[in-house]
Chain A
Amino acid sequence: MGWLVKLFRNYVFRRAIRAFITILIVVTITFFIVRLMPGNPIEIYIGQLMSQYGMTFQEAKNAAAALFSLDLDAPLFSQYLDYMKNLFRGDLGRSFVSQGVEVVDLIASYLPWTLFSVGISILLSFSIGIALGIVIAYKRGGLLDQIISGISTVLTSIPNYLLGIILLILLGVQLQLIPVSMMRGTVSPGMKPGFTWKFISDVFKHAALPILTYVLSTVGGWILSMRGSTLNTLGEDFVTVAKARGLPERRITFTYVGRNAILPLFTSLTMQIGFMMGGSALVEFIFVYKGVGWALWSSIGQRDYPVMQGVFLIITIAVIVANFMADLLYGKLDPRIKAGGSE
């Protein structure tokens, strides 16, 4: 019995249980919320058949009835129980729109591209952001501070999809530096996947603009946040003491100021890593980039419930896990905070 008590007192175990319950709640809410959207996949399919193939409503309805194995007239709760039963077996269902296509397979084909493009973007924008943030904090009030802060403010206020369109038009149409067709898609036609320099360079070429878009749209936020956090830290007593002790400026900057200033940003970073699983639907749409955001966008339009639920589940799990990791790692970064210490 004692081991059970020990187990329940264990911080990691309790967080795991909490995470599991949170996922269940979110999955349940998602299940019902997507069905609150007006219309359903059968109606949309019927509408498509009527407009694309000239069928009457009855013909289209008969065609749809033969096709959709899921009875959307069944009580919602029984549909929910079926879904949860399958979910516990790792079965996310099949796409309503693309018959026979497993949602797991769909997500597996799209997710790596999102992880790749958004992951690199987060790393780049965070690294550039904290570096520039520290620099302009040290040079606060100066010309460099004003220029970079100004640019950061502007970049942060421009929606990422608008930045994407601007880059596309500027680089592809106005300056004609890069063919527009090269800025689209994940790879060039005919490119065989493999660990070859040809394939890897092609992937990077195609990801360059989506990555640049993400970086430009987020780096401003990191710069301004790091600047503010650094200014706060510079005013702390321990920095004054460090300076008074005559420690090298470089050591003060990185070990004392930088390390403390970055702490508040760390939580935001981990949350962003979690949310990156959802990609950015609009950026992926503009660059025709085959990521999870693009899949989510098209599944919403077609009311492809299983795909939508699958994507939301991935995002939920990622955010919860990222949050959990943030809690654990925060304690390592800041000895004043012990994970689970307050519990």
Chain B
Amino acid sequence: MRKVVFLVLAVLIVMGTASMILASEFHGAWPYLPPPNGHFNTFVTNAILGASMYHDLIEEPMAIYYWATGTWEPLLAESWKLDKEKSEFVVNLREGVKFNDGSELTAQDVIDTFYIGYLMHWAVWRFIDKVEAVDKYTVKFHIAKPAPKIVLERYIVRERVRAHSVYGEFAKKIIDLLAEGKTRDSKEMKDLRVEFEKFRPKTIVGAGPYMIDPNSITEAQLTLVKFPGYWDIKNIKFDKVVVYNGETPVVTPLVMSKEVDYATHGFPPATEMQFKRLGARILRPPIYSGPAIYFNDDIYPFNLKEVRQAIAYAINKDENAYVSLGQSAKRCVYMAGFSDNLVPLWLSDETKSKLNSYKYDPKKAEEILKSLGFHRDKDGVWVTDKGQRMEYELSVPAEYADWTAAAQNAADQLTKFGIKVSVRGVTYSQHPTEVRQGRFQMAIRDWGAGHPHPHFAFYTDLVSYNYLSGFGPGQNFPLTQKTKAFGMVDLNDLVTRSGEGWNEEEQKAAIEKLAVAFNELLPIIPLWERYGNNPAWDGVRVTNWPADDDSLYKNSPYADNFVTLMLLKGILEPVK
């Protein structure tokens, strides 16, 4: 009997010990489509984890960016150089790097990646016209159209390198067709495109620290397992990364039950409060964008800048921010058209001093409208100088909880002020199309962009939903405008110049001008800047999260996610 008891105890001790040396895991969450819809062709939509923060752990990019310092962390690339005189961008790859299928990283992998990008209409091909190998580990990009260094860097070194062993055949066909003088518009390229869209590799071959375990994929979760041959394996502390599938409502219970260590989803403030009550940390990285009120310029009096300014004064944006997303929304102080976090890096003190914050001031709003000859009707609703009552509809993507809250609050505030606004929800997949086609009166769409260069923010604010997008009339906001500050300005020209050319001083000057013009004209009214409310569990499976004021948290979670960086550099550690 004693022997049996002893044996049982021994078994239990061994099992207990074994459980302590089980694989260390990091649990995250991201929406993906499982097979057969989801697949492993990462150039094409619906690739599993494609374009997600976890994608960088599988198909590693050449470098990743630190937003706070404006510097790069070299990964698959050791160094690179922009030679403006020769119009060349040369990248030196790290030697001795292996893909998870055993093949070696060489210049050919980068060349294949970008030529398939050509077939897929990647934006980088607006600026380059050739990619070639200088030697086995050096790649040269020929710059056809000059652009700021940061723009080229983000298009080139931030790109994930795909394996020649998987995509080489297709890349060769593209290069051969180009050599024959065929372009993307040719029948041969279009046919190749159709064929490529159906290409389904059996797995993702990457040079990152993790690889997808295909047997682990279900519609609910999948597992990334450590690649032992990764070039920087000493910094990879977790054996596995488990990614749970789902959007916000289905990920919420996982976070509450501590089964997810970190999530980037946009949780409503009430859910965030519940997370905090349960003991989770809430990380708030800037998103560098947010919701804005867009106006249909074809509708009088939205074409008058004074009316737009009055509306900006009539909305308490601090209240709007808090109601929408609690502490994860902050009123835009500078109203410059791009993130307040980037303003100190791009605007001089003199320019900043010219910017109007449009702080809540309903009296000022009233003065402006009266100066235009508007008056209030018997029921308090404003009437324009042409006798039209100011009653409008504000459309918003119905599924975006924070934007609908912003829309409803703005509508309530404006209605109280005397501009009667009612909210209409439109399904999120349809809303951008409706706005781009001009089928709206007022609408909530995004301002800014998750990019460190303000050119992209202004592109969103002034072009993306305007007649120049090609989709339709959109806002129909004329891009040649008269301003008090500069007289006549061609905003489209300024947006273009801010993102092209070698002369960075000229680009900065264009951005300064754009900021002042935007602030005066207010083609859209940015309501607030969004910050993440990413829950993070410290001490369940993961520990060593940096303090809240760490500069890593300045990285946009959707562009250069800080958790990806922390996993790559071994900052986060498993709980022992």
- The interface of chain A, by Cβ under 8 A from chain B, is 37-39, 43-63, 65-67, 69, 95, 97-101, 105-106, 109, 165, 168-169, 172-173, 176, 179-181, 184-190, 285-290, 294, 298, 301-303
CB neighbours (8 Å) of A303 from chain B are 429
- Cα–Cα, bound, A109→B194 (Å): 25
Given contacts A39-B429, A173-B256, contact A55 B123 (CB under 8 A): yes
Interface size class of B (residues with CB under 8 A): 35 or more
Residue of B nearest to A190 (CB): B215
- Cα–Cα, bound, A100→B456 (Å): 34
Residue of A nearest to B123 (CB): A54
CB neighbours (8 Å) of A46 from chain B are 471
Give min CB distance, B314 to chain A, whole Å. Answer: 30
CB neighbours (8 Å) of B69 from chain A are none
CB neighbours (8 Å) of B469 from chain A are 56-57
| Residue B490 interfacial (CB < 8 Å) | no
Residue of A nearest to B37 (CB): A98
Residue of A nearest to B430 (CB): A39
| Residue B10 interfacial (CB < 8 Å) | no
Residue of B nearest to A109 (CB): B36
Q: CB within 8 A of B194: which of A49, A60, A67?
A: A67
CB neighbours (8 Å) of B34 from chain A are 290
Given contacts A53-B123, A97-B37, A185-B221, contact A302 B244 (CB under 8 A): no
Mask of B215-252 contacts with A, CB within 8 angstroms, 1/0 = 11111111100000000000000000000111001100
Give min CB distance, B430 to chain A, whole Å. Answer: 4
Give min CB distance, A203 to chain B, whole Å. Answer: 12
- The interface of chain B, by Cβ under 8 A from chain A, is 33-34, 36-37, 39, 44-46, 51, 120-123, 184-185, 189-190, 193-194, 197-198, 200, 213, 215-223, 244-246, 249-250, 253-254, 256-257, 259, 426-427, 429-430, 432-434, 436, 456, 464, 469-471
The answer to whether B37 and A59 have CB atoms under 8 Å apart is no
The answer to whether B221 and A181 have CB atoms under 8 Å apart is yes
Residue of B nearest to A192 (CB): B215
Give min CB distance, A279 to chain B, whole Å. Answer: 13
CB neighbours (8 Å) of B218 from chain A are 185-189, 290
Q: CB within 8 A of B198: which of A55, A100, A180, A288?
A: A100
Given contacts A48-B45, A52-B51, A180-B253, contact A301 B427 (CB under 8 A): yes
- Cα–Cα, bound, A39→B439 (Å): 12
The answer to whether B253 and A185 have CB atoms under 8 Å apart is no
The answer to whether A168 and B253 have CB atoms under 8 Å apart is yes
Q: CB within 8 A of A101: which of B36, B184, B213, B217?
A: B36
Given contacts A109-B36, A184-B250, contact A66 B470 (CB under 8 A): no
The answer to whether A301 and B429 have CB atoms under 8 Å apart is yes
- Cα–Cα, bound, A44→B215 (Å): 32
The answer to whether A56 and B470 have CB atoms under 8 Å apart is yes
Q: CB within 8 A of A62: which of B51, B185, B217, B254?
A: B185
CB neighbours (8 Å) of A55 from chain B are 121-123
Residue of B nearest to A101 (CB): B36
The answer to whether A176 and B470 have CB atoms under 8 Å apart is no
CB neighbours (8 Å) of B33 from chain A are 98, 298
- Cα–Cα, bound, A328→B106 (Å): 70
Q: CB within 8 A of A288: which of B123, B193, B245?
A: B245
Give min CB distance, B279 to chain A, whole Å. Answer: 13
Residue of B nearest to A184 (CB): B220
The answer to whether B246 and A288 have CB atoms under 8 Å apart is yes
CB neighbours (8 Å) of B433 from chain A are 38-39, 43-44, 47
Q: CB within 8 A of A106: which of B36, B213, B470?
A: B36
- Cα–Cα, bound, A187→B123 (Å): 40
Q: CB within 8 A of B259: which of A61, A106, A165, A181?
A: A181
The answer to whether B37 and A95 have CB atoms under 8 Å apart is yes
The answer to whether B215 and A189 have CB atoms under 8 Å apart is yes
CB neighbours (8 Å) of B221 from chain A are 181, 184-185, 189
Closest A-B pairs by Cβ, 6 of them: A185-B220, A57-B470, A100-B198, A184-B220, A189-B216, A290-B219
Give min CB distance, B213 to chain A, whole Å. Answer: 8
Give min CB distance, B439 to chain A, whole Å. Answer: 9
- Cα–Cα, bound, A50→B250 (Å): 27
The answer to whether A38 and B219 have CB atoms under 8 Å apart is no
Q: CB within 8 A of B36: which of A51, A65, A98, A285?
A: A98
Give min CB distance, A38 to chain B, whole Å. Answer: 5
CB neighbours (8 Å) of B244 from chain A are 181, 184
Give min CB distance, A67 to chain B, whole Å. Answer: 6
CB neighbours (8 Å) of B259 from chain A are 179-181
The answer to whether B46 and A98 have CB atoms under 8 Å apart is yes
The answer to whether B246 and A99 have CB atoms under 8 Å apart is no
CB neighbours (8 Å) of B464 from chain A are 50
- Cα–Cα, bound, A30→B434 (Å): 23
The answer to whether B220 and A285 have CB atoms under 8 Å apart is no
CB neighbours (8 Å) of A189 from chain B are 213, 215-218, 221-223
- Cα–Cα, bound, A173→B256 (Å): 6
For the complex with contacts A180-B253, A185-B221, 17 further pairs of A-B residues with Cβ separation under 8 Å are: A47-B429, A48-B45, A49-B45, A53-B120, A59-B123, A66-B193, A98-B36, A99-B44, A99-B194, A99-B198, A172-B257, A180-B254, A181-B244, A189-B216, A190-B215, A285-B249, A290-B34
Q: CB within 8 A of B184: which of A52, A62, A95, A298?
A: A62
The answer to whether A286 and B249 have CB atoms under 8 Å apart is yes
- Cα–Cα, bound, A267→B433 (Å): 44
Given contacts A97-B37, A169-B256, contact A190 B216 (CB under 8 A): yes
Residue of A nearest to B189 (CB): A66
- Cα–Cα, bound, A169→B252 (Å): 9
Give min CB distance, B530 to chain A, whole Å. Answer: 15
Give min CB distance, A175 to chain B, whole Å. Answer: 10
Residue of B nearest to A52 (CB): B51
CB neighbours (8 Å) of B185 from chain A are 62
- Cα–Cα, bound, A58→B398 (Å): 27
- Cα–Cα, bound, A60→B194 (Å): 15
CB neighbours (8 Å) of B194 from chain A are 66-67, 69, 99
The answer to whether B121 and A63 have CB atoms under 8 Å apart is yes
Give min CB distance, B134 to chain A, whole Å. Answer: 28
The answer to whether A51 and B432 have CB atoms under 8 Å apart is yes
- Cα–Cα, bound, A168→B223 (Å): 23
CB neighbours (8 Å) of B471 from chain A are 46, 57
